[in-house]
Structure 1
Amino acid sequence: MKIICIGGGPAGLYFALLMKKQNPAHQIKVVERNRPYDTFGWGVVFSDQTLGNLAEADAPTAQAIEASFNHWDDIDVFFKGGKVTSGGHGFCGIGRKHLLNILQYRCEELGVELVFETEVTDEQQYDADLIIASDGLNSRIRTRYADSYQPQIEARRCRFVWLGTRKRFDAFTFAFKQTAHGWFQAHIYQYDADTSTFIVETPETVWRAAGLDRMSQEESIAFCEQLFAEQLDGHKLMSNAAHLRGSAMWITFPRIVCGQWVHWHGAVPVVLMGDAAHSAHYSIGSGTKLALEDAIELARCFGAHGDTAAALGAYQEVRAVEVLKLQSAARNSMEWFENVERYTAMEAPQFAYSMLTRSQRLSHENLRLRDAAYVNGYERWFAQRAAAQAGLPPATIAAAPPPMFTPFKVRGLTLKNRILVSPMAQYSAVDGVAGDYHLAHLGARALGGAALVFAEMTCVSADARITPYCPGMYAPEHTQAWKRITDFVHQHSDAAIALQLGHAGAKGSTRAMWDGIDQPLDKDNWPLYSASPQQYLQGISQTARAMTAADMDRVQADFVRATLAANEANFDWLELHCAHGYLLSSFISPLTNQRGDEYGGSLENRCRYPLRIFSAMRAAWPSHKPMSVRISAHDWVEGGITPDDAVRIARLFKAAGADMIDCSSGQVSKLEKPVYGRMFQTPFADRIRNEAGIGAIAVGSIYEADHVNSIIAAGRADLCAVGRPHLANPAWTLAEAARIGYTAVAWPRQYLAGKQQMERNLARGNDGR
């Protein structure tokens, strides 16, 4: 093949040498606009895993790179005058120029033609069978064929500058400094015997407020030297961008995602690779890693497929998935650094833990494998603080339980751990009465180790039900039926029990889930109402009418009556359901509220009626008992509720007296396009807890103890609601304790033989059965 690589960065050079190694008959040329020693940046970072991939692809290159690496295991975090160190991370740094020189030398050794100081204005000038567009973040080729590549380019909100220093750092160092204008942070790592990369970053608003947009390059560097004098210890900062003047040295990061990676000029493919195809934020050090792994995969695909089109199809199929995974982690990391101020109320140990786990790739148990002493120390600190916050003496906390098993106090209620059983519809009530099924269902889960068991959404009137089989709290027999269940929970377990009150609104009068979820009843339907006229399933559902003032007064009275009944039934906790497109949610979301009165329009107006209901309930509910509110923190539809809105909604409910926000999302519109994944709704809880300053409950695809420990330890939420795993195993909490080796958790005395058997089996490496 005749192969032209446009761009002599890591992607183009590495692909060229791998293809030449694979078949010396290939005619390969790399064309680069700069001179051999011209490049940006100071050093690049690889993980130990990346080194393994390089060694497998081309041992001589890997050996030369590894011989030049500066290797470290520790991460140091400097925050509020403190320093937190964790180890076992296994990173390597190398100068970018040196890396390119190694790749250039290997290319020449194998017979690749290298052409420098050549600007390619038209790639079609070359006689080639394959053109590689490895021309960087600002790829001209990607721009030229944007219709084919479908790039999405998003400029992010921080300004940053690449600098260097002669001070040597023996750990990957993160330093955070507060100024009168806001927070700055530095990412620092050594990459050769006497030089370290020193990246300074801050949000654009802070950068402008500090006057950096008006400073010369020399003034900017002096500013950074003074700000991070503690870390520099008298050393100077250096720039290798002398050609840039003033504020031009401070740049923004472009997040790049391409829908397609191949454009065809007739029979000649032009293939994106490296930064031209994608970008990953420097805070996880993966841009160069991705570029090299692109090259490895494309070379592998050509080796495995005789047909060019098949090879390119396989390349995009494999790499697009892998890149999106890493870009997701990189986005989490990037957003954490863009919003450092969100976490600055934390104490240094938790702030550092939050930073370490920011991408969600590194979990609590991952950290333990890397540095058990660090995690054990953090667990002791977290447990002692949790005990103090719950008003318990430190002696009641044994040898540092995992974060999920620390206590949590809300008003007058102290929960024994951080696990809740989610409210999950069971469609098993008769005329609104919770019966034997509910006693067995909720009772089993109360015995299963969770601190708080939620009853499913319970409806405040007969016409508030989702289905005819939903439980209610609108008649005396309902109160007595629920009291039978709460009495069982209080007598036979140490769990608390909560009631979630709601009104189905436009989503009511439907069948049980297994008979057709959201489908209207065949007969005996009841009238529906909502914030505005709507039909939940277009052409299928009943059309709900808009609520009148009289409707609103009646529904408010229904909620208050149900609140009083919930207290009579001896529930410990009450939650108001304002999510998932049900009645009160329909007021909050602009997708379903088109009212022209004081209950429509602005977000504050749309929240007015749900807040009115909540305030009336709070006044009727005993002051020592907690109240939470479930909201849809994201509608997942253009023009709907966003996570920014969710923070504002949480603040409004906090001002009205709410103790916790239960952070769910979606189910407001069938046009939704949620992005699923493990812990996918946890970022909503994170923002609400740390921006709105109110307790938060994380929900959604939380199914391992490691998930819960990571969320709670990092301060992303105060409690975790676990639903479907508790359907599969009522004793999920106890089973997870045994699985992670935490034996101090209390089991019901009737089940102690099972505890011992499970722990023995797990200790022997069995699955606990």
Structure 2
Amino acid sequence: MSLFTPLKLGGITIQNRIGMSALTRNRSTDTVPNEIMQKYYVQRAIGGAGLIVSEGTLITRQGSEWPQAPGIWNKDQVVGWKKITDAVHEAGSKMYCQIWHLGRISHPEAPEQIAAGVPVYAPSAISARGGKFRFLPGSPGYVTPTEIPDPTVIIAQFKEAAINAKEAGFDGVELHGANGYIVAQFLDSTSNKRTDKWGGSPENRARFALETLKVLIEVWGPNVSLKISPAGGYNDVGMPLEETIETFGYLLREVNKLGLSYVTLVRYSAGQDPEFDGVHRATKHDVVATFGPLLTKTPVFVNSEVTPTEAEELVSSGTAAGVFFGFNILTHPDLGKRIKAGKPFDNVPDVHHLYGAVGVDPAIGYVDYPEAVY
């Protein structure tokens, strides 16, 4: 099977084309990675994932959409991640750190936001619709953020996170440019109304992503990647189709010149398409067919509801260099082994403990999914 052939990505080689997508799980200890997280990642390394991408990892104490999400801005976090990367390497896999900034998808009353002592920053002072901060009294929604006076300050935080990720033993970094977080907020004309060099034209709106990638390359060389979701409406982003193609087309033509290790294209998913005032937010189109051909020098990974059969077809046809699995690898730690042996995906997701739960064993719905019988 083509899916089980090695692949060179930047300066490393992964054992197969199966990737574990970044999946927020909320099991850290006050933003510091811990032993239960190590067990979680090692299970999936042993289970056959050639490349593991960490859950979204915060680059700054700039609040959090989720409680117990891990960070990588201090030494305790670096030490915690180093134990995980060492164990993943011993299990035979490689691991990238997905570096993450929420932008406007935070709340000023979140504990980490209060501790940071700074506003909720975003490209423009425009609130996302929706949101439900269940860990705050009254479960408030999103609020109007403060426009970032100087975006280069955030870019510098991404660079510092990349330096810390190297110290923590990761094999590279993935810039989280998907799902309506800060990179996507700069790209999207509905969330970015700036009139300076960071807003307006597609070229200006893509500037933040490109300048961030460039500083990551200064730290990591070719072991830098980007994840984007042009068809996604999650966190209240999404442009008309023509503008979507123009904006992401410009971005990816420029990205293709940078020598990244890979770009992940997240396909349309109904679960990432919220509805506001009776109108669906996402821009539904074939992301892989539209943007894949622009990445002539850059390996493409496909993400979102990919089946094992489709994964093999994508790789064997040359449409994709590899595939990232999300929910299926969450519920099947031995996913790679199952695909190779032709075993079914028959574990049922524990949705009640998907993002952790206060006062219960963090192992529940996290590291207790059974392997198949071989």
TM-score range, shorter-chain basis? 0.7 to 0.9
Query: What is the letter of the counterpart of residue 721 of structure 1?
Result: F
**Distance change in 2, residues 1:464/1:582 (3 Å):** farther
SS of residue matched to 2:252 = helix
> Equivalences for 1:115-126 in 2 at 5 Å?
none
Please say if 1:490 is aligned against 2:80. no
What is the deviation of 1:627? Answer: 1.2
Alignment-derived partner of residue 535 in structure 1: 127
Q: Determine the structure 2 residue equivalent to 1:164.
A: none
The answer as to whether partners of 2:232 and 2:283 remain within 8 angstroms in 1 is no
Out of 281, 284, 300, which is 1:696 matched to? 300
Structure 1, gaps ≥5 residues long: 1-401, 511-519, 742-753, 759-769
> In structure 2, what is the equivalent of residue 610 of structure 1?
209
SS in 1 for 2:104: helix
The residue aligned with 2:134 is none
Q: Kindly provide the amino acid, as one letter, of the partner of residue 699 in structure 1.
A: N
Structure 1 residue aligned with 2:11: 412
Given that 1:528 and 1:545 are in contact with CA atoms closer than 8 Å, whether structure 2 keeps it comes out as: yes
1:579-601 CA-partner distances (Å, limit 9, x unpaired): 11111211011111111011111
Q: 2:24 aligns with which of 425, 444, 449?
A: 425
- Secondary structure of residue in 1 paired with 2:55: strand
TM-score normalised by the chain length of structure 2: 0.79
Distance 1:656 1:669 in 2: 33
The C-alpha deviation readout for 1:199-225, integer Å capped at 9, x for no partner, is xxxxxxxxxxxxxxxxxxxxxxxxxxx
Q: Residue 715 of structure 1: CA displacement? A: 2.0
Listed one character per residue, the Cα deviations across residues 241-266 of structure 1 (whole Å, up to 9, x for unaligned) are xxxxxxxxxxxxxxxxxxxxxxxxxx
Say if 2:204 is the partner of 1:627. no
Structure 2 distance, partners of 1:431, 1:668, is: 31
Q: Which amino acid aligns with 2:306?
A: I
1:662 to 257, 260, 264: 264
Amino acid at match of 1:573: G
For the pair 1:739 / 2:337, whether they are aligned, the reply is no
Corresponding residue to 2:147 among 522, 546, 555: 546
TM-fit CA distance, 1:406: 1.3
Report deviation, 1:686: 3.9
| Match status 1:719 vs 2:322 | yes
**CA–CA separation in structure 2 for the residues paired with 1:721 and 1:534:** 32
Give 1:509's aligned residue: 107
Distance change in 2, residues 1:533/1:477 (3 Å): same
1:432–1:615 distance in 2 versus 1, CA, 3 Å: same
1:349-360 matches, cutoff 5 A: none
Contact 2:228 2:265 in 1 (8 A): yes
Counterpart residue number, 1:450: 49
Q: Which residue of 1 aligns with 2:250?
A: 648
Distance 1:668 1:534 in 2: 19
Partner secondary structure for residue 652 of structure 1: helix
Displacement, 1:664?
Answer: 1.9
Contact 1:607 1:649 in 2 (8 A): yes
Question: In the alignment, which residue of structure 2 is the partner of 1:556?
Answer: 155
Residue from 164, 167, 173 that aligns with 1:565: 164
Question: Within 2, Cα distance between the matches of 1:438 and 1:633?
Answer: 30
**Larger strand share, 1 or 2:** 1
- Letter paired with 1:695: P
489 and 635 in structure 1: CA distance in 2 versus 1, 3 angstrom threshold: closer
Call closer, same or farther: CA 1:733–1:645 in 2, change over 3 Å.
Answer: same
595 and 688 in structure 1: CA distance in 2 versus 1, 3 angstrom threshold: same
- Residues 658/522 of structure 1: CA separation in 2 closer, same or farther (3 Å cut): closer
Change beyond 3 A, Cα 1:535–1:558: same
Q: Distance in 2 between matches of 1:722 and 1:630?
A: 14
What's the CA shift for 1:609?
A: 1.6
Alpha-carbon distance in 1 for matches of 2:28, 2:110: 16
Does the 8 Å CA contact 1:452/1:498 hold for their aligned counterparts?
yes
2:88 and 2:319 map into 1 onto residues whose CA distance is 29
Residue 450 (structure 1) shift: 1.0
Q: Distance in 2 between matches of 1:464 and 1:656?
A: 31
Verify the 8 A CA contact 2:62 2:112 in the aligned structure 1: no
CA contact (8 A) 1:633 1:645 kept: no
Contact residue 126 and residue 191 of structure 2 kept, 8 A: yes
- Alignment partner of 1:479 is 2:78: yes
In structure 1, the partner of 2:331 is: 728
Deviations 1:394-430 (A, max 9, x none): xxxxxxxx11111111222111111000100011222
Radius of gyration: which is bigger? Answer: 1
Q: Hey, what's the Cα distance between the residues in 1 that align with 2:245 and 2:310? A: 21
1:141-180 alignment, distance < 5 Å: none
| Cα RMSD, aligned residues only | 2.7
User: Structure 1 residues 445 and 620, CA, compared in 2 at 3 Å: closer, same or farther?
Assistant: same
3-state secondary structure, aligned to 2:302:
strand
1:654 positional shift: 2.1
CA gap of 1:588–1:709, structure 2 versus 1, over 3 A, is: same
Gaps of 5+ in 2: 131-139, 345-370
Q: Residue by residue, what CA displacement relative to the aligned partner does 1:711-744 show, whole Å, maximum 9, x if unpaired? A: 1112221110001011111001101110179xxx
Q: Describe the shift of the 1:411–1:691 C-alpha distance in structure 2 as closer, same or farther (beyond 3 A).
A: same
User: Are residues 583 and 532 of structure 1, via their aligned partners in 2, closer, same or farther at CA, if it must alter by over 3 Å?
Assistant: same
Structure 2 vs 1, CA of residues 576 and 656 (structure 1 numbering), >3 Å: closer, same or farther? same
- 8 Å CA contact 1:499–1:575 kept in 2: the answer is yes
Q: Is the 8 A contact 2:227 2:264 kept in 1?
A: yes
**Where is the helix percentage greater, Structure 1 or Structure 2?**
1
Aligned counterparts of 2:260 and 2:107: Cα–Cα separation in 1: 30
What code does the residue aligned with 2:86 have?
Answer: D
Tell me the percent identity.
Answer: 24
Aligned residues: 324
- Residue 358 of structure 2 corresponds to none
Cα displacement (A) at 1:469: 1.5
- TM-score (normalizing by structure 1): 0.40
Q: Distance in 1 between matches of 2:10 and 2:239?
A: 38
Alignment of 1:12-23 (within 5 A): none
* Contact persistence 1:406–1:417 (CA under 8 A): yes
- Give the match for residue 353 of structure 2: none
Higher relative contact order (CA 8 A, sep 6+): 2
* Pairwise CA distance, 1:554: 2.3
Per-residue deviation, residues 455-475 of structure 1 (Å, max 9, x unmatched): 101011010533331110100
The answer for the alignment partner of 2:136 in structure 1 is none
For residues 275 and 149 of structure 2, the distance between their equivalents in structure 1, rounded to whole angstroms, comes to 26
Most deviating of 636-645 and 727-736: 636-645
For residue 463 of structure 1, give the secondary structure of its aligned residue in structure 2.
coil
Shift of residue 709, structure 1, vs aligned partner: 0.5
In 2, distance between residues paired with 1:739 and 1:602?
48
Aligned twin of 1:470: 69
Go from structure 1 to structure 2 and tell me whether the alpha carbon gap of 1:448 and 1:565 turns closer, same or farther (over 3 Å shift): same
Amino acid of the residue matched to residue 591 of structure 1?
Answer: T
Corresponding letter in the other structure for 1:498 = Y
Equivalent pair of 1:423/1:723 in contact (CA under 8 Å): yes
- Post-superposition Cα deviations, 1:177-201, rounded to whole Å, max 9, x if no partner, equal xxxxxxxxxxxxxxxxxxxxxxxxx
Equivalent residue of 1:655, what SS?
Answer: coil
Match of 1:386 in 2: none
